[in-house]
Amino acid sequence: MSTDRTERRSRRTSIGLWDAAAEFARHPSPWMIGAMLAAASVARVLRGDWQISDALVPLVALLVFPLVEWVIHVGILHWRPRRIAGLTLDSLLARKHREHHCDPRDVPLIFIPWQTLVWLLPVLVAGAWLAFPRAGLALTFLVTVGVLGLSYEWTHYLIHTDYRPNSRPYRAVWRHHRHHHFKNEHYWFTVTTAGTADRILGTEPDPASVETSPTARNLHASR
């Protein structure tokens, strides 16, 4: 890292939401997810055929999303590279996440890699079409995924900026995720919520009872 870049970071002060949003809009991931959300929303309105199940899909998604975050964070983002039959299994997501832990303030590393979204978004669309019994419900699912995806990207990004939380719920989420990065990487895996999946799965201890990890900034390094 250059000296100039280090000095700029050391001089950072709290920023407002408008400044944070302007930077957020400069990155491809929000636009890619937003494009899918916009297309799915228009298609959903044009399709019609509203039923009770269209209200159940977002409700169920909201309930399970913290668990999905936890599983992805633990199983994919914190994947330890493995060699099998002479090949190293190590995804782009895992590599980028290790870089993110090394430098939590590097803004491009905060976002889902666009290279992942290039294939993931079409897979989600195809999967929704195959999984749901009617087109309207598949579109409802895609709208829900788009909203949750943008919410995840915005929340995760905002936590790593110099924006300081005002509301009590956001302060809890902000503190929760920063414990993961700066206290111990083996706990606090949810990003958009606090006290949900981590509490259920036993990864939300009292921070005062947890040692500061020497590898929080260097995942999988030897202690």
pLDDT confidence of residue 128 = 97
pLDDT band, residue 10 (cuts 50/70/90): very low
User: Which residues, including other chains, have CB under 8 Å from residue 192's CB and lie 6 or more apart?
Assistant: 65, 66, 69, 151, 152, 155, 156, 173
Burial degree of 75 (CB within 10 A; 0-12, 13-18, 19+) = exposed
Model confidence at 118: pLDDT above 80: yes
pLDDT confidence of residue 13 = 65
Tens digit of each residue's pLDDT (9 = 90 or more) over 47-99: 999 999 999 999 999 999 999 999 999 999 999 999 888 889 999 999 999 99
Averaged pLDDT score across all residues of the chain? 93
Model confidence at 2: pLDDT above 80: no
H helix intervals, 27-183: 28-47, 53-72, 92-102, 114-131, 135-159, 168-182
Model confidence at 6: pLDDT above 50: no
pLDDT confidence of residue 15 = 85
pLDDT confidence of residue 7 = 41
The residue type of 43 is: A
**R_g of the chain computed on alpha carbons:** 19
- Distance in angstroms (rounded) separating the CA atoms of residues 188 and 183: 10
Counting residues of the chain whose pLDDT is more than 70, the rounded percentage is 93
Please state the pTM of the whole predicted model: 0.91
Question: What are the residue ranges spanned by the domains of the chain?
Answer: 17-209
